[in-house]
Amino acid sequence: MSSYNLFNTQPLKEQAESFETLLKCRNVKIERIHSPANTRSERYVQQQDEWICLLQGEAKIEMESRITSLARGETLFIPKGTPHRVMETSSNPLCIWLAVHIH
């Protein structure tokens, strides 16, 4: 098994989020997400539960018409079928997320 540093990132070449699968095992998928400044995502409605942790930066998430501000180290649980989207991300530092999808 090789080690991995969650904070080692390649510079973003585009103004789009990058998603990297770190682990996929049975009913769990773990991703690292790297967001450019001022990211505003599409609305997601997923068929699985998702737990997110903001490792770096600051962000605002809209979930069921309520906006939640997240700072470094804060987490949020998003139950399956819940409409949500990223409303805003910081520029300095850029946002790095850890997302755990539970199928």
What are phi and psi for residue 94, nearest 5 degrees?
-70, 160
- The domains of the chain, with CATH numbers, are 28-102 (2.60.120.10)
Smallest CA-to-CA distance from 55 within 9, 24, 12 is with 9
pLDDT in tens, the chain (103 residues): 577 788 887 666 567 888 999 999 999 999 999 999 999 999 999 999 999 999 999 999 999 889 999 999 999 999 999 999 999 999 999 999 999 999 9
